[in-house]
Amino acid sequence: MTKKRGLRAAQLLALTLVLLLLCACGKVDHNEDESSNLGHWGRALASLSMQTLGGNPVVFGGDLAEDTVASALEIRDIETRDQLLEAVSFRLEHGAREDYHFDADVLTAYDEQELEAALSELDETQQAHYRRVLAVAERWGEDGLLAVDAAEAALLLQLGYDAGLLTHEEAQALVEPVAQMVLGHFTSWEELLQNLLDGRCVTDGLDEGSEALQAMTERLDALREGDDDKDPLFDDALFSEQLVPLEGVSASSLLP
């Protein structure tokens, strides 16, 4: 009798394990706090940069190799926790969009004839840069380069987590002000990602039809086409949801 009960218990345990495996099949461990949507925001915002680094965009932290994380932080002159937090704070408060706003304000103050005269006095590289700024200003106005800064901040937080400069909870809590940067300015990922591409044309010096821009566009298209409809990385519902903070840690207590 005891042996039968033991066998039955073992069979039930085996069946339970099989069911658990079946339920888990097809699901991805996003490495985020499921009580909050901040991890999702962080993954989606940094997806293009994370993919460029060779990481997995659907996982918070990207499962990046240690040397990749170290190199990515080194080229940004980040070695310490304080330097990381200062870099994130810069992206939140100023970022690449600060220079863009200055240039756009100066350029749009000219009438067409004055503008062409002013540009003609510059070399080809400077002319090309300012024409890119103008193109972004005409399309996006004050929102030009906004997605560039949000994407970089979101990547920095994941790199900081990977390097052990931030805890898992701290990194995701700090996504809140990053997501707030774009909420209210965009209504879909299609719109935000186009803003990102246009902004990168200015920051990276990319011209329409250039190989570098084409490669970046193709990488982004591949990300979007490979998105899982049942578990989307680029979920437009995020734009209509309230941000759900993590309990026990706040961004304001971490930022300098």
Tell me the C-alpha distance between 173 and 95, whole Å.
Answer: 20
pLDDT of residue 138: 96
Reply yes or no on whether the pLDDT at 8 is more than 90.
no
pLDDT of residue 10: 53
Give residue-wise pLDDT tens across range 230-241. Answer: 999 999 999 999
9 compared with 203, residue with greater pLDDT = 203
Reply yes or no on whether the pLDDT at 18 is more than 50.
no
Reply yes or no on whether the pLDDT at 251 is more than 50.
yes
- Mean pLDDT value across the chain: 91
178 compared with 27, residue with greater pLDDT = 178
Is the distance from CB of 192 to CB of 182 less than 8 angstroms? yes
Which pTM does this prediction carry? Answer: 0.88
Which pLDDT band holds residue 28 (cuts at 50, 70, 90)?
Answer: confident
Give residue-wise pLDDT tens across range 103-160. Answer: 999 999 999 999 999 999 999 999 999 999 999 999 999 999 999 999 999 999 999 9
Three-state SS string across the chain, please?
Answer: CHHHHHHHHHHHHHHHHHHHHHHHCCCCCCCCCCCCCHHHHHHHHCHHHHHHCCCCCCCCCCCCCHHHHHHHHHCCCCCCHHHHHHHHHHHHHCHHHHHHHHHHHHHHCCCHHHHHHHHHCCCHHHHHHHHHHHHHHHHHHHHCCHHHHHHHHHHHHHHHHHCCCCCHHHHHHCHHHHHHHHECCECCHHHHHHHHHHHHHHHCCCCCCCHHHHHHHHHHHHHHHCCCCCCCCCCHHHHHCCCCCCCCCCCCCCCC
Is the distance from CB of 100 to CB of 195 less than 8 angstroms? no
Give residue-wise pLDDT tens across range 62-90. Answer: 999 999 999 999 999 999 999 999 999 99
* Percent of the chain residues past pLDDT 90, beyond the cut: 87
pLDDT of residue 27: 67
Reply yes or no on whether the pLDDT at 192 is more than 60.
yes
